[in-house]
Copies of this chain bind each other. A is one copy, B any other.
Amino acid sequence: MAIDRSLVAKMPLFAGLAPEQLDAILSEARSARYAKNAAIFEQGEEAHSFFVLLHGHVRASKTTPTGQQVVVRYVTPGEVFGVAMAIGLSTYPATATAVDDSVVLAWPSASWPRLVAQYPSLARSTLVTVGSRLQESHTRVIEMSTQQVERRVAHALLRLAGQAGRKVEQGVEIDFPISRQDIAEMTGTTLHTVSRTLSGWEQRGLIESGRQRILLCDPHKLFQLAEQAPGEA
């Protein structure tokens, strides 16, 4: 069963490849479907494959030795993930979980060296991808170093809305199930504090939320909140 070229032609990873080259690469992939909450791979496991997300949403998270979890990022369709081999790791540094029913393409990690040798643009675009994740991670470090919780949560919501926001009548809704706990693990706080923060915003009409569901009603006000200096309340 061949995979349709049009599904992936516009992905950054495959930029600069001729249609035949793309077909050749795709012919080596298998596609797989993961149900909501299914694990795609686990932290520490042998990195047998790398992936491109076609449909759905995937959470990448790390667990500390004491069992605490931290969400590294959410993967949106079109992104690569699990590229451990490319960055010199033989095991996955994080756990990938489908947060929604998801469809992926998968290649054996063992094919990576040959693929990059054959198609140098793969190395270039992967470098750009990893580089931008490094920037994001630095941004997160800076936020955690210099901002208090409310602003961090605001930033996190706006980022999620930008990556996976679905426009609806009353605003922008985050297009996959996400809990208070998840947001806490993204922002370095506790689900209690996130709950309190969101409750406050809901009362002020900035958001509307429910079980694993968040709708941004007033992204602009939220943005002001995220950017405002500590003094100006």
A contact residues vs B (CB 8 Å cutoff): 62, 64, 66, 68, 70, 72, 86-89, 93-94, 116-117, 120, 123-124, 126-128, 130-135, 137-138, 140-142, 144-146, 185, 188, 229
Cα A120 to Cα B116 with chains together (Å)? 9
Cα A120 to Cα B123 with chains together (Å)? 9
The residue on B at minimum CB distance from A123 is B123
Q: Which residues of B contact A72 (CB under 8 A)?
A: 138, 141
Given A130-B134, A137-B134, A145 and B87 contact (CB-CB distance below 8 Å): no
In the complex, what's the smallest C-beta–C-beta distance from A31 to chain B, in angstroms? 25
In the complex, what's the smallest C-beta–C-beta distance from A170 to chain B, in angstroms? 31
In the complex, what's the smallest C-beta–C-beta distance from A115 to chain B, in angstroms? 12
Interface pair A188/B144, CB less than 8 Å apart: yes
How many subunits of this chain does the assembly comprise?
A: 2
Cα A142 to Cα B72 with chains together (Å)? 9
Q: Which residues of B contact A141 (CB under 8 A)?
A: 70, 72, 137, 140-141, 144, 188
Cα A66 to Cα B93 with chains together (Å)? 34
In the complex, what's the smallest C-beta–C-beta distance from A154 to chain B, in angstroms? 16
Cα A95 to Cα B185 with chains together (Å)? 29
Interface pair A145/B188, CB less than 8 Å apart: yes
Interface pair A142/B87, CB less than 8 Å apart: no
Cα A88 to Cα B188 with chains together (Å)? 29
